[in-house]
Amino acid sequence: MAETAARREGAGRLFCERDGCMADITEVDYIWKNGELVPWAEATCHVLSHSLHYGSGVFEGIRCYKVPDEDKSFVFRLRDHMERLHRSCKIAQIELPYSADELMDATLEVIRANKLPACYIRPLVYRGYGVMGVDPTGAPVDVVIAVWPWDAYLGADALENGVAVGISSWRQRSNNAIPPAVKATASYMNSILAKMEAKAHGYAEAIMLNEAGLVCEGTGENLFIARNGVLSTPPLSDGLLEGITRDTVLCLADDLEIPAVEESLTRSDLYIADEVFMTGSAAELTPVGSVDGRVIGKPGEITRALQDRFFDLVYGRIDEYADWLTEV
């Protein structure tokens, strides 16, 4: 896994290693907004924008990877992310004025304009300035794509050594409150509360249960466990986001002939698991070293095998997944 750590050189000063939190953002030159590149400092919105008051926005998180020792970069599953953004807008009844293809082209444009070999990508669709009140009718829709260098989401050594997590007292939203299929800005309020609670208790991340008390997901990640050689992850019906990295891991497990099932999990299942890891575009495949103080241990064989194959994939070394990579 030395390559995993080495690939992050020069990624910017984004994290406080003491607690694994995002410390600041490394500014670049441009942000794509409503069809054009604008200077970073000018990509602003009005303080009375609808989304600032009522959370009426949807977004994505995507990564662009630089191939080690090569002058080549790939955006991972760009089309899948932009198609999910469209699905989020459909559920949230936000009229997105750009096609998935146009958003993909805009993503490549802003990466190239900022001359970034590797970066995090944040498309955001939000209701802007024009109306006030819960009813968003008449509010204009603004679309931005920001890119910046971003290091390991849960801390500098998280991918290598794992992180400590705790079960949150905050429950994940239900399917009939804010649909988990929508990656909505509003739905992250309980993630924020759970994250702050976890940090206050000395954990890098929180695991959230659903209203039935079953394991759902992290504050921004899906969750897997391994026990007796079998990989398990909660089903979408338990209220979690349909993660693109989650789907990737299930495909990679099949490649490696690792048995994998989608099944409901309890917190006790986490305590007695042989391995636990979290997945997401930001978190990638981050091992969990302990849950509520119960030691899981160092990343195990299944986690390591999936990590290795994941990075082989995003670096373009697996031909069968070439259509998941968009070269910059």
Give the DSSP letter string of 131-162.
Answer: --SS--TT--EEEEEEEE----TT-TTHHHH-
Task: Report CA dihedral (156, 158, 160, 166) to the nearest 10 degrees.
Answer: 160
Task: Report CA dihedral (195, 17, 313, 287) to the nearest 10 degrees.
Answer: -60
Q: How confident is the model at residue 8 (pLDDT cuts 50, 70, 90)?
A: very low
Alpha-helix residue ranges (DSSP H) falling in 55-99: 78-92
201 pLDDT higher than 60 = yes
In a domain, 187, yes or no: yes
User: Among 39, 74, 92, which residue's Cα sits nearest to residue 328?
Assistant: 74
In a domain, 4, yes or no: no
11 pLDDT higher than 70 = no
Least confident of 6-15, 68-77, 110-119: 6-15
Q: How confident is the model at residue 177 (pLDDT cuts 50, 70, 90)?
A: confident
Quote the pLDDT of residue 155.
66
Give the DSSP letter string of 311-326.
Answer: HHHHTT--GGGGGGEE
282 pLDDT higher than 70 = yes
Q: How confident is the model at residue 5 (pLDDT cuts 50, 70, 90)?
A: very low
In a domain, 324, yes or no: no
Residues 310 and 163 in one domain: yes
Give the DSSP letter string of 27-43.
Answer: --SEEEETTEEEEGGG-
What average pLDDT score do residues 152-180 get?
A: 87
Residue 179 DSSP label: -
What's the pLDDT tens digit per position in 223-249? Answer: 999 999 999 999 999 999 999 999 999
Last residue of a domain, one of 125, 148, 171: 148
What CATH number is given to the structural domain containing 266?
3.20.10.10
What Cα–Cα distance (Å) separates residue 282 from each residue in 58, 121, 134, 159, 304?
17, 10, 31, 12, 18
Count of domains for the chain: 2
Quote the pLDDT of residue 158.
86
Half-sphere exposure (CA, 13 Å, Cβ side) for 163? 30
The pTM of the full predicted model, rounded to 2 decimals, is 0.91
What average pLDDT score do residues 36-46 get?
A: 97
150 pLDDT higher than 90 = no
Quote the pLDDT of residue 4.
46
Q: Which of 183, 195, 199, 298 is catalytic?
A: 183
Grouping H, G, I as helix, E, B as strand and the rest as coil, residue 54 is helix
Phi, psi for 113 (deg, rounded to 5) = -65, -30
What's the pLDDT tens digit per position in 115-132? Answer: 999 999 999 999 999 999
Residues 173 and 287 in one domain: yes
Q: How confident is the model at residue 156 (pLDDT cuts 50, 70, 90)?
A: low
In a domain, 251, yes or no: yes
Domain that residue 123 falls in: 27-148
Alpha-helix residue ranges (DSSP H) falling in the chain: 2-6, 50-54, 78-92, 100-113, 158-161, 189-200, 244-255, 267-271, 301-314
What CATH number is given to the structural domain containing 113?
3.30.470.10
Residues 89 and 213 in one domain: no
In a domain, 74, yes or no: yes
10 pLDDT higher than 50 = no
Residues 181 and 206 in one domain: yes
The answer to whether residue 183 is catalytic is: yes
User: Among 245, 241, 223, which residue's Cα sits nearest to residue 232?
Assistant: 223
Residue 206 bridge partners (DSSP): 166
Quote the pLDDT of residue 314.
97
Mean pLDDT rounded to a whole number for the chain: 92
Residues 108 and 198 in one domain: no
Quote the pLDDT of residue 153.
72
Rounded-to-integer distance, Cα 7 and Cα 306, Å: 17
Grouping H, G, I as helix, E, B as strand and the rest as coil, residue 185 is coil
Residues sharing a CB contact under 8 Å with residue 301, sequence separation 6 or more, in sequence order? none
